[in-house]
C-alpha cells in the first residue's frame, strides 16, 4: 500500500523539476520546424522503398536515368507521384464524362496548341496549331521529345489515344474556360486540365540549361556539401511581373540583411544583368534559395529543388504535377513556407542559421534532396509519369482514335480515293516541323540572324522561312525565369 504514495511523490517531484527547468531555460528552440502531424502516409526518406514481386526496388544511383521501368516498378519507385492523374480521371468520371473527339479541336486557342495521337506505340502529330513563335516552338519540341522517349523506352505498348497539349503558361484563355487539354500547370479551379511534366525537364537552352540531365550531372560532381555552402539566401529576378507583390516583398524583407544575396534584375540594363545574373549551379552553392511565382507558375522551381539547399517559398497559386510532394511542416519537411509577402522571412531564416539547430536545418535539405533530386524529379520518374498519364487518359477516352483518313488525289487517269495515315510521324516532324509539305521539300533555315544571312557568301533566299507576324498577346509570353539567357540583352519573359 505504500507503493502508491511513493509513486505519487516521485511524479510530483519530476513535474516540479521540469517546470523549474523550463522557467529558467525555456523550451527547446525548434519552432522553425513545425511538427504538426501530416495527413500523409508517406514514409520517411531514409526508409526503404517498396519492393516489387520480383524483389526489385528503386536505387537512385542505378535507376535515376532508367527510362524503361515497367508499370510495377514505376509504382514501387514513385508511389505518390500520380495524384494529379488520379484527380483528372475522377473529374471525368464524376463530372465531365468520357473524353469525346470534339473536345480535341484546338482552334479555341489562337496559338500554342498541339494535337497528337499515339497509335501502335508510335507518336503522330495531327495539328501543330500556332507553334511558329520561337517560345512556342521550343516548348513543343521539348515536350514531344519527352513523350517520344517515354514511348520508345516502354517495355510494353501503350494504349492508343488522341490528345492535345498547350505550351502556354496558362492553358486556358479566361477564368471560366473549361476546355480539356494537357498543361504544364493549373490553378485549383482549373479542374478540366491534365497536368504533364514541364518542358524544362527535357532542356531549356534559352536560359542555358542545355539538358536537364546535364544539370543534374554537374550538380552531382561539383555541388558543395550543405555545411560548406554560402550561408545566405539567394534570389535573382525582375519585379515587373504579375506576382509583383511576392517579389517586391522578398526584396523588401531581405534588404540589408547579413544573410541576404537577394537582387533585382533589370533586363533593360545590360550592366545590371552582367553583374548580377547567376547560373543554376551558382544558385546551388547557397544554403538557402528563394523561389517566387511570376506571371504564372515557377519554371525554376524544379531546378532549385535539385539543389541540396533549403528552399523558401510562399504558398503557390499555380499547381504543377509534383507540388503535392512539397512538405512545409513535420518530420518530413522538405522546404520552408513563408507568407506571400515574405514578412516572416527574417525570423525563419535567423532560426535556421542558429548553430544549435544545424542538425535540424540540414535535415530539411536532406529531405528535399532525397524526395526530389534522388527520386521524384529524376528522369526515370518523368518517363513513368508520362506513361501513367497516357494510360489514365485512355481509361476515360470515349472513342478509338482513327488512324486512317480517306483522301482524293487527281492522277493522269483521273481521281482516285486513297487511304493514308492521319498526321505525320514524330520522326518526320522532328526534322520538318510541319504536318504536311510539298515534294521536293525545302530545307528549313531557322535561328539565323538577318545580318549573318546577308553576309553569307551564297545566300539561298528560297530557303529562308517567311516571317511570321506574332500578335501582341503572344509576344508577352516569351518566358524565362531570370536564369541565364543566351543573349543577356534579349530578356526572356518572367514565367515565375
Predicted confidence band of residue 286 (pLDDT cuts 50, 70, 90): very high
Q: What is the pLDDT of residue 356?
A: 94
Do 366 and 380 share a structural domain?
no
Do 85 and 74 share a structural domain?
yes
- Answer whether residue 15 is part of any domain: no
Do 218 and 141 share a structural domain?
no
- Answer whether residue 251 is part of any domain: yes
Percent of the chain at pLDDT exceeding 70: 79
pLDDT greater than 80 at residue 182: yes
**C-alpha torsion sign, points 12, 16, 17, 19:** positive
Of residues 330 and 19, more confidence is placed in: 330
pLDDT greater than 70 at residue 35: no
- Answer whether residue 154 is part of any domain: yes
CB 116 within 8 A of CB 401: no
Q: What is the pLDDT of residue 446?
A: 55
Taking the C-alpha atoms of residue 337 and residue 434, their distance in angstroms, rounded to an integer, is: 45
C-alpha R_g of the chain: 26
- Answer whether residue 494 is part of any domain: no
Do 173 and 71 share a structural domain?
yes
- Answer whether residue 57 is part of any domain: yes
Q: Report, as an integer, the average pLDDT of 204-226.
A: 96
Q: What is the pLDDT of residue 238?
A: 94
DSSP 44: P
Q: Report, as an integer, the average pLDDT of 68-97.
A: 98
Residues β-bridged to residue 410: 415
Residues β-bridged to residue 405: 420
Do 286 and 161 share a structural domain?
no
Q: Which three cell numbers stand for residue 51?
A: 519492393
Of residues 408 and 35, more confidence is placed in: 408
Helices (H), 280-403: 280-283, 301-304, 345-352, 358-368, 379-395
Q: Report, as an integer, the average pLDDT of 285-300.
A: 97
Least confident of 87-91, 202-206, 293-297, 442-446: 442-446
Which helix (H) or strand (E) is 230 found in, with range?
strand 230-237
Q: What is the pLDDT of residue 4?
A: 43
Q: What is the pLDDT of residue 13?
A: 52
Classify 114 in phi/psi space as left (phi over 0), alpha (psi -120 to 50) or beta. beta
Q: What SS3 class is residue 308?
A: coil
Do 190 and 174 share a structural domain?
yes
Q: What is the pLDDT of residue 48?
A: 64
Of residues 320 and 1, more confidence is placed in: 320
Phi, psi of 6 (to 5 degrees): -65, -45
Strands (E), 323-480: 336-338, 404-411, 414-421, 424-425, 479-480
pLDDT greater than 80 at residue 60: yes
Q: What is the pLDDT of residue 477?
A: 46
For 23-32, the pLDDT digits (tens) are: 444 433 333 3
Q: Report, as an integer, the average pLDDT of 42-62.
A: 77
Do 178 and 123 share a structural domain?
yes
Strands 186-187, 230-237: pairing is unpaired
Q: Which three cell numbers stand for residue 298?
A: 515557377
Do 417 and 278 share a structural domain?
no
- Answer whether residue 1 is part of any domain: no
For residue 365, the enclosing domain spans 213-318+322-374
Do 368 and 234 share a structural domain?
yes
DSSP 83: H
For 338-393, the pLDDT digits (tens) are: 999 999 999 999 999 999 999 999 999 999 999 999 999 999 999 999 999 999 99
pLDDT greater than 70 at residue 469: no
Taking the C-alpha atoms of residue 309 and residue 366, their distance in angstroms, rounded to an integer, is: 8
Instruction: Return mean pLDDT, the chain.
Output: 85
Of residues 106 and 6, more confidence is placed in: 106
Give the relative orientation of helices 83-91 and 379-395 as an angle to the nearest 10 degrees: 10
For 235-277, the pLDDT digits (tens) are: 999 999 999 999 999 999 999 999 999 999 998 999 999 999 9
pLDDT greater than 70 at residue 453: no
Neighbour-count burial for 154-165, b at 16+ CB within 10 Å, e otherwise: beeebebbbbbb
- Answer whether residue 35 is part of any domain: no
Do 369 and 347 share a structural domain?
yes
Report which of 116, 171, 467 is spatially closest to residue 319, judged by C-alpha positions.
Answer: 171
Do 235 and 128 share a structural domain?
no
- Answer whether residue 334 is part of any domain: yes
What total of structural domains would you count in the chain?
Answer: 2
For 99-153, the pLDDT digits (tens) are: 999 999 999 999 999 999 999 999 999 999 999 999 999 999 999 999 999 999 9
CB 241 within 8 A of CB 228: no
Taking the C-alpha atoms of residue 238 and residue 231, their distance in angstroms, rounded to an integer, is: 23
Do 272 and 169 share a structural domain?
no
Taking the C-alpha atoms of residue 25 and residue 28, their distance in angstroms, rounded to an integer, is: 8
pLDDT greater than 60 at residue 76: yes
Classify 164 in phi/psi space as left (phi over 0), alpha (psi -120 to 50) or beta. beta
Taking the C-alpha atoms of residue 118 and residue 125, their distance in angstroms, rounded to an integer, is: 9
Residue 217's CATH number: 3.40.50.2000
Amino acid at each position: 500500500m505504500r507503493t502508491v504514495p511513493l509513486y505519487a511523490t516521485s511524479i510530483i517531484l519530476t513535474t516540479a523539476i521540469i517546470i523549474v527547468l523550463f522557467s529558467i531555460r525555456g523550451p527547446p528552440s525548434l519552432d522553425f520546424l513545425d511538427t504538426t502531424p501530416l495527413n500523409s502516409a508517406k514514409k520517411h526518406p531514409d526508409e526503404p522503398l517498396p519492393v516489387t514481386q520480383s524483389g526489385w526496388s528503386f536505387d537512385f544511383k542505378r535507376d535515376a536515368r532508367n527510362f524503361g521501368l515497367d508499370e510495377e516498378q514505376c509504382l514501387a519507385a514513385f508511389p505518390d507521384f500520380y495524384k494529379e492523374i488520379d484527380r483528372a480521371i475522377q473529374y471525368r468520371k464524376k463530372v465531365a464524362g468520357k473524353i469525346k473527339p470534339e473536345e480535341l479541336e484546338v482552334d479555341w486557342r489562337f496559338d500554342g496548341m498541339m494535337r497528337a495521337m499515339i497509335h501502335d506505340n508510335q507518336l503522330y502529330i495531327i495539328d501543330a496549331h500556332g507553334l511558329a513563335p520561337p517560345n512556342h516552338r521550343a516548348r513543343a519540341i521539348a515536350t514531344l521529345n519527352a513523350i517520344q522517349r517515354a514511348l520508345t523506352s516502354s517495355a510494353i505498348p501503350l494504349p492508343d489515344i488522341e490528345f492535345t497539349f498547350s505550351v502556354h503558361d496558362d492553358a486556358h484563355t479566361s477564368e471560366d474556360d473549361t476546355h480539356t487539354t494537357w498543361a504544364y500547370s493549373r490553378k485549383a479551379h482549373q479542374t478540366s486540365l491534365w497536368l504533364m511534366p514541364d518542358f524544362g525537364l527535357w532542356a531549356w537552352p534559352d536560359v542555358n540549361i542545355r539538358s536537364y540531365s546535364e544539370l543534374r550531372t554537374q550538380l552531382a560532381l561539383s555541388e558543395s556539401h550543405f555545411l560548406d555552402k554560402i550561408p545566405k539566401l539567394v534570389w535573382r529576378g525582375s519585379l515587373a511581373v504579375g506576382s509583383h507583390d511576392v517579389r517586391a516583398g522578398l526584396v523588401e524583407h531581405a534588404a540589408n540583411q547579413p544573410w541576404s544575396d537577394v537582387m533585382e534584375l533589370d533586363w533593360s540594363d545590360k550592366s545590371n544583368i552582367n553583374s548580377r545574373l547567376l547560373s543554376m549551379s551558382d544558385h546551388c552553392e547557397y544554403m538557402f534559395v528563394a523561389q517566387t511565382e511570376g506571371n504564372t507558375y515557377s519554371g525554376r522551381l524544379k531546378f532549385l529543388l535539385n539543389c541540396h539547399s533549403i528552399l523558401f517559398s510562399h504558398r503557390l497559386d499555380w499547381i504543377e504535377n509534383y507540388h503535392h510532394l512539397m512538405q512545409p511542416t513535420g518530420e518530413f519537411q522538405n522546404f520552408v513556407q513563408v507568407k506571400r509577402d515574405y514578412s516572416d522571412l527574417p525570423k525563419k531564416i535567423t532560426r535556421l542559421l542558429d548553430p544549435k539547430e544545424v542538425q535540424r536545418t540540414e535535415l530539411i535539405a536532406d529531405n528535399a534532396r532525397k524526395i526530389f533530386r534522388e527520386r521524384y524529379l529524376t528522369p526515370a520518374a518523368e518517363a513513368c509519369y508520362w506513361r501513367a498519364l497516357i494510360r489514365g487518359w485512355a481509361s476515360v477516352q470515349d472513342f478509338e482514335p482513327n488512324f486512317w483518313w480517306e483522301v482524293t488525289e487527281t492522277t493522269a487517269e483521273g481521281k482516285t480515293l486513297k487511304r493514308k495515315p492521319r498526321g505525320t510521324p514524330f520522326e518526320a516532324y522532328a526534322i520538318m516541323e510541319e504536318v504536311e509539305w510539298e515534294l521536293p521539300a525545302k530545307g528549313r533555315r531557322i535561328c539565323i540572324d538577318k545580318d549573318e544571312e546577308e553576309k553569307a557568301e551564297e545566300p539561298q533566299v528560297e530557303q529562308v522561312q517567311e516571317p511570321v507576324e506574332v500578335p501582341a498577346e503572344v509576344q508577352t509570353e516569351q518566358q524565362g525565369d531570370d536564369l541565364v539567357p543566351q543573349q543577356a540583352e534579349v530578356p526572356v519573359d518572367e514565367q515565375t
